[in-house]
Amino acid sequence: MTHIPVLLEESVDLLVHNPNGVYIDGTFGRGGHSKKILSKLSSKGSLIAFDKDLEAVNFAKSTISDKRFSIFHGTLNSKSIKHLTYGVDGILFDFGLCSTQLDDAERGFSFGKAGPLDMRMNQESGISAMEWLSKATEKEIADVLWKYGEEKHSKSIARLITNTQQRQPITSTAKLAGLIEEKFPRVGRKHPATKTFQAIRIYINDEIEDLKINLLTADHLLSSGGIIVTIAFHSLEDREIKEFFKPSRTEVHKDIPLNPIIEKKYNSITNKLKPTPEEILNNQRSRSAILRAYQKNE
């Protein structure tokens, strides 16, 4: 399936307020949002993109030939900002998985496609889901399923996984999904392994912590009057985003040595936006998306 960028028009219209400005796409994916941003910029504008999936970076380099555009492998954090200047006009984060990641069985993200149980967004670092499941205790697995998937059967599924591992290692997406479906038969359209796969993926990629670091770094780079647009796909992400942009608060983070205490003051510039029925009809994967946009006070 070709990746279809979610809430494309809405997000870019909110983001680009100065065609001569500097913008960041913190989650390039397959470049739908980046290409739209570039179409709104003048010859003086520029766009810097990031993605921790090396396949996405290579795709960008092979498909976008524009002197206003550059891309780096990694996420927006204290290490990556060496590539940047301060006074950025707008930053976009689409925190969802790219359709090409889901559709590639070798990446191990989807319970609907048989493949190795990997789930790493950056395949050059970290451990795979298969490796983690082979070492994790029953309690560790249960805690991850509950914390990141809000899976009500977390303890039962964790016990099922560890008991199975003792007999034969779980090495494929099909094996893990099949175990869960056998224990908890499907009711309705939702696959019973959905929350388990979500939880393990979030844990393996440290997605919630990554989201926080992305937002902290974005705040440090954004100019007064600059705009941050976020697109989240599940309640955990959306909860963190709302918490981050509360009217005022103080943040301390060990991984951001830029300014350890940062006062946050942003104005929400739109109500929570969801895809239209037409967009959902054309792209079912957009149905859970939530867009929020904030402007940094002058």
What's 242's domain CATH number? 3.40.50.150
Last residue of a domain, one of 204, 238, 266: 204
How confident is residue 108, by pLDDT bands cut at 50, 70 and 90?
A: low
Question: Measuring CA to CA, how many Å separate 177 from each of 113, 195, 252?
Answer: 10, 11, 39
**Residue 197 and residue 227 in one domain:** no
pLDDT > 60? residue 257: no
Q: Tell me if 110 is assigned to some domain.
A: no
pTM of the model: 0.86
Q: What percent of the chain has pLDDT over 70?
A: 87
CA-to-CA distance for 263 and 255, rounded, in angstroms? 17
CA-to-CA distance for 215 and 232, rounded, in angstroms? 13
Name beta bridge partners: 293. 229
**Residue 79 and residue 220 in one domain:** yes
**Residue 188 and residue 211 in one domain:** no
pLDDT > 50? residue 260: no
CA-to-CA distance for 95 and 101, rounded, in angstroms? 13
Over residues 76-104, the mean pLDDT reads: 77
The CATH number given to whatever domain includes residue 157 is 1.10.150.170
Contact 227, 12 (CB under 8 A): no
Neighbours of 270 (CB within 10 A): 14
Each residue's pLDDT tens digit, 191-249: 899 999 999 999 999 999 999 999 999 998 999 999 999 999 989 999 999 999 987 55
Q: Tell me if 108 is assigned to some domain.
A: no
Each residue's pLDDT tens digit, 50-68: 998 888 899 999 999 999 9
Residue 265: per-residue pLDDT: 81
Q: What are phi and psi of 90, to 5 degrees?
A: -165, 145
HEC secondary structure over the chain: CCCCCCCHHHHHHHHCCCCCCEEEECCCCCCHHHHHHHHHCCCCCEEEEEECCHHHHHHHHHHCCCCCEEEEECCCCCCHHHHCCCCEEEEEEECCCCHHHHHCHHHCCCCCCCCECCCCCCCCCCCCHHHHHHHCCHHHHHHHHHHHHCCCCHHHHHHHHHHHHHHCCCCEHHHHHHHHHHHCCCCCCCCCCHHHHHHHHHHHCCHHHHHHHHHHHHHHHEEEEEEEEEEECCHHHHHHHHHHCCCCCEECCCCCCCCCCEECCEEECCCCECCCHHHHHHCHHHCCCEEEEEEECC
Q: Tell me if 176 is assigned to some domain.
A: yes
Contact 11, 229 (CB under 8 A): yes
pLDDT > 90? residue 44: yes
**Residue 128 and residue 93 in one domain:** no
Neighbours of 66 (CB within 10 A): 12
Structural domains counted in the chain:
2
Question: Measuring CA to CA, how many Å separate 78 from each of 48, 81, 94, 123, 294?
Answer: 15, 6, 20, 21, 22
Q: Tell me if 1 is assigned to some domain.
A: no
Over residues 24-44, the mean pLDDT reads: 95
Residue 261: per-residue pLDDT: 46
User: What range does the domain containing 140 cover?
Assistant: 123-204
Last residue of a domain, one of 187, 204, 221: 204
Each residue's pLDDT tens digit, 177-188: 999 999 998 888
